Each structure stands twice: as structure tokens, then as C-alpha cells.
């Protein structure tokens, strides 16, 4: 099995979305600055010896500028996305095309992680998503609740969605999925165990940045279930400890850059 990271660019947004009480005023600082931060967008390309090319999270749609509603672009606008960040070009660099992809695993169905399904329109590639996330994302579109984080262009029954059930599932040999809710009801983290014995744990947006995971700083306005988040944090730490994992967080560019450009086997 070979594993490498994919770089889908970055968006820039207020820190309050990812850190509880980010920019909050206090008695001694009544009007603090509300800092902004780059949210790196990334995914993983896994070449599996039995199941072929598998992707974990696929970034935004290439034509996001026309598909994302103006309020979403105002709050979470993408500030870095060039031809190099397009999924089809990333696959080409590795010697593949979108037609070679045998499976797509989506950690959660937000627009910056699953919008790249647009590259697979008309193809019948299986898209593995947790049962709870499939249900919630279609519900969010139908009711306009959480609209903006989920968009109808890719939450579309034309795609070949395959539900993943339960708290833990070894989908393919060496690829284990864990339900880790908090940010969304059905976010799935992924652990890849390579033949070298090295383990990678991808948290999707259950953990956005180093501060969330390593300093246990709770997530901000993007959290849908705070109690669930604390349980997921504890679960992820046990998994990471048990398997001595390299942990890759949803939007942390510093950790991402340590691994970008390397091929792990
Ligand atoms: Zn995200």
C-alpha cells in the first residue's frame, strides 16, 4: 500500500469557527481583534494492492466560485486554489486519471471535503460515507438547515453512495474507519496501516488544527455536538496511542506540509 497527501489549496476564515471563544471580549479587553486563519484543504491518495486507487476526501469542486453561494464565499472564501490544486491534475501528477479511482471515502460531506465529487459525475465509483452523514447531509439540503456547509450540487443521488455503519469498520485491509462525531453527526476518521508498520490517522474536521487535538482546545461555531466532540477526542487519542499514529488534522497546514510530497509505503 502506498499513501501520499493531496493539496487542495486553502480557504481563509475567522478563528471563532474552529476555537471556542475565539475573539471573545473580556473585562480587560472589550474589543479584541478577531483573528483570521488559513484553513488548509487536503486529502489522501492510497494505492491499495488489492482494491486499487482509493481517495480519502477530495476537496472542493473545481468550479467552486460559481457553485458556492455568495454568503459562503464571504465567510469561507477560498484564497488559494490553482490548477495544481485540482484533483484531476493531482492524480495526473501521480500517473492516474479520475477513471482509475476505485473508491472514494468521505470523512464528512461539507463543501470543502466532498465538493470534488464533481470530478466523478457520470462515473459509477463507490463513495463511502457514514450512514449518519448521508442521512444528515440529504436532510440538511432538503430542509435548508445547515445549508451552505452542505450544497446540493454534489449531495445528489446520481452519485454511487455506499453507507458505512457503526462505530468502526475495516473497509479494506489496512484501512479502518471510525465514526468520530462532533463537527457533523457522521464524520469518519481513517487509519491507514502501511506494510512498514507505520500508521496514519486522518481526523477530517473532527479536529481542525493542532490546538484542538494536542492542546484539547474545543472547537468553535462549526461544532454541532460538543459532548460528542469530547468523546471523539478521547477515542482518537486512544487509537493514535494504540497504533502510534501520525495524526493528520482537517485543516492544519503545518502538519500537512511535513508530509506533502512524500510517498509512504
Ligand atoms: Zn472543512
- A 10 A CB-CB count for 60 gives 29
Query: Is residue 130 assigned to a domain?
Result: yes
What distance in angstroms lies between residue 110's CA and the mean position of ligand 1's atoms? Answer: 7
For residue 209, which of 44, 5, 22 has the smallest C-alpha distance? 22
Provide the residue range defining the domain that includes 73.
2-15+36-259
Query: Is residue 134 assigned to a domain?
Result: yes
Element (H, E) at 249: none
CATH number where 109 lies: 3.60.15.10
d(CA 103, CA 101): 6
Per-residue model confidence (pLDDT) at position 22: 87
What distance in angstroms lies between residue 164's CA and the mean position of ligand 1's atoms? Answer: 20
d(CA 75, CA 79): 11
Mean pLDDT of 195-218: 97
pTM over 0.85: yes
pLDDT in tens, 140-158: 999 998 888 999 999 999 9
According to DSSP, residue 150 is labeled B
What distance in angstroms lies between residue 30's CA and the mean position of ligand 1's atoms? Answer: 30
Per-residue model confidence (pLDDT) at position 229: 97
In this structure, what are the phi and psi dihedrals at residue 154, rounded to the nearest 5 degrees?
A: -115, -15
| Cα-Cα-Cα-Cα dihedral sign, residues 49, 247, 243, 265 | positive
Q: Are strands 199-202 and 188-193 parallel, antiparallel or unpaired?
A: antiparallel
What distance in angstroms lies between residue 203's CA and the mean position of ligand 1's atoms? Answer: 11
Q: How many domains does the chain have?
A: 1
pLDDT in tens, 4-63: 999 999 999 999 999 998 889 999 999 998 899 999 999 999 999 999 999 999 999 999
All three cell numbers of 104, joined, read 472514494
Amino acid at each position: 500500500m502506498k499513501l501520499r497527501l493531496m493539496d487542495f489549496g486553502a480557504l481563509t476564515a475567522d478563528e471563532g469557527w474552529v476555537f471556542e471563544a475565539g475573539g471573545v471580549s473580556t473585562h480587560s479587553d472589550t474589543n479584541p481583534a478577531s483573528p483570521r486563519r488559513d484553513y488548509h484543504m487536503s486529502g489522501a491518495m492510497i494505492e491499495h494492492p488489492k482494491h486499487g486507487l482509493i481517495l480519502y476526501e477530495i476537496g472542493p469542486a473545481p468550479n467552486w466560485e460559481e457553485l458556492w453561494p455568495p454568503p459562503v464565499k464571504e465567510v469561507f472564501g477560498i484564497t488559494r486554489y490553482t490548477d495544481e490544486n485540482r484533483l484531476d491534475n493531482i492524480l495526473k501528477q501521480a500517473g492516474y486519471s479520475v477513471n482509475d479511482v476505485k473508491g472514494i471515502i468521505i470523512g464528512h460531506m461539507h463543501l470543502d471535503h466532498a465538493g470534488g465529487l464533481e470530478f466523478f459525475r457520470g462515473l459509477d465509483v463507490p463513495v463511502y460515507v457514514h450512514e449518519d452523514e448521508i442521512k444528515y447531509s440529504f436532510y440538511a439540503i432538503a430542509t435548508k438547515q445547515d445549508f451552505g456547509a452542505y450544497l446540493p450540487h454534489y449531495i445528489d443521488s446520481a452519485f454511487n453512495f455506499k453507507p458505512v455503519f457503526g462505530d468502526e469498520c475495516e473497509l479494506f485491509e489496512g484501512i479502518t474507519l471510525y465514526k468520530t462525531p462532533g463537527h457533523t453527526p457522521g464524520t469518519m476518521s481513517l487509519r491507514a496501516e502501511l506494510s512498514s508498520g507505520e500508521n496514519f490517522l486522518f481526523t477530517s474536521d473532527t479536529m481542525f488544527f493542532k490546538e484542538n487535538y494536542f492542546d484539547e482546545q474545543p472547537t468553535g461555531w462549526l461544532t454541532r455536538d460538543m459532548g460528542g466532540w469530547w468523546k471523539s477526542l478521547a477515542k482518537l487519542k486512544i487509537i493514535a496511542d494504540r497504533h502510534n499514529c501520525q495524526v493528520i488534522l482537517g485543516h492544519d497546514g503545518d502538519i500537512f506540509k511535513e508530509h506533502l510530497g512524500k510517498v509512504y509505503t
